[in-house]
Amino acid sequence: LPELPEAETVRSDLARVYQGDRLARISVTGRRTVRRHRPELLRTLEGLTLTGVGRHGKYLLLQWEGGPVMVAHLRMSGQLLSAQAGDPVALHTHAVLRFAHAGELRFVDPRTFGELFIAAPGPGLGSGPAPVANAAPGRGGGGPNLTGLAHLGPDALSIGAPDLHAALAGRRAPLKALLVDQRVLAGVGNIYADEICFEARLRPHRAAGSLARAEVTRLAASTRSVLAAAIVARGSTLADNGYQDLSGRPGSFQLQHQVYARAGLPCGRCGRPVQRIIFGARRAYFCPHCQR
């Protein structure tokens, strides 16, 4: 579920509630949730204070006193929920972080695609600055200098036209396929790729390398503005309530969706029906009249 706007909403909630507090105890019960290393490794964070919460693309970066970073990715069905000790434990709760003062942070994930892991500084110069909330633009397109995240492209929220042009130039793949490729651009998934293409008035199946300069500039601007608007609305919560914020509340950006899951409904710009096409293994929604 969570794409960049949902991850960013959870990021700011986490910082507000837990930053500055000390981790008293962490327990991991899910077998698959911590799968990149021994689950016990997470216990080395016990006693440390949460100094900041960053994000790159859809990845959340919990930064602890002394440098360690715990990475969380919610994948399809993960949720990070605040709770008080003693509150009923939801089905599919795989990890619980108990803080000294702010209560518990619980990782709940029915499909178990999500994961938690501790990241070390990646190959390269190491010991660089701690990751910040949003990657700086124009930094050569890389992800954070952390193991497991180095393959990520630049964060979509601050993508600039030059970086986007570099990423799309010469590529014959469909535009949408590259927008959702985290190595190209980090943070965009199925919902926002369609909304961004609509806003930029570009067809999702256009060959990425065929975009004119002006179109790439428009696409970069649309990427930033759609994601920013979705963050203001605290993300998109679809019919199954799969996404909720830290407090269990839904987002509202789904009310502003222009094309996603709106096959046959009138395009808000021209009134003609939105079309759905099959696109690889997934669907894409677009307006054949407004998008070229």
Partner DNA sequence: CGATTATCCTGTGCGC
Partner DNA sequence: TGCGCACAGGATAATC
- Which residues are CB-neighbours of 38 under 8 A, at least 6 positions away? none
Q: Between residue 30 and residue 49, which ones bind DNA under the rule CB under 7 A?
A: 32
Q: Between residue 212 and residue 231, which ones bind DNA under the rule CB under 7 A?
A: none
Sheet holding 69-73, edge to edge: 50-56, 59-64, 69-73, 115-119
Catalytic status, residue 3: yes
- Interaction between residue 93 and DNA (CB under 7 A): no
Cα–Cα distance for residue pair 252/250, rounded to 1 Å = 7
Q: Is the separation of the CB atoms in 69 and 63 below 8 Å? A: yes
- Interaction between residue 254 and DNA (CB under 7 A): yes
Which of 3, 6, 115, 215 is labelled catalytic? Answer: 3
CB of 193 to DNA, least distance (A): 8
CB of 43 to DNA, least distance (A): 24
- Interaction between residue 68 and DNA (CB under 7 A): no
Catalytic status, residue 58: yes
**AA identity, residue 271:** G
**Run of H or E including 54:** strand 50-56
Sign (positive or negative) of CA dihedral 164, 169, 171, 172: positive
- Interaction between residue 88 and DNA (CB under 7 A): no
Q: Which residues are catalytic?
A: 2-3, 58, 282
Name the site residues for DNA (rule: CB under 7 A): 1-3, 32, 57-58, 73, 75-77, 91-92, 110-113, 151, 171-174, 177, 180, 182, 189-191, 209, 236-240, 242-243, 254, 280-283
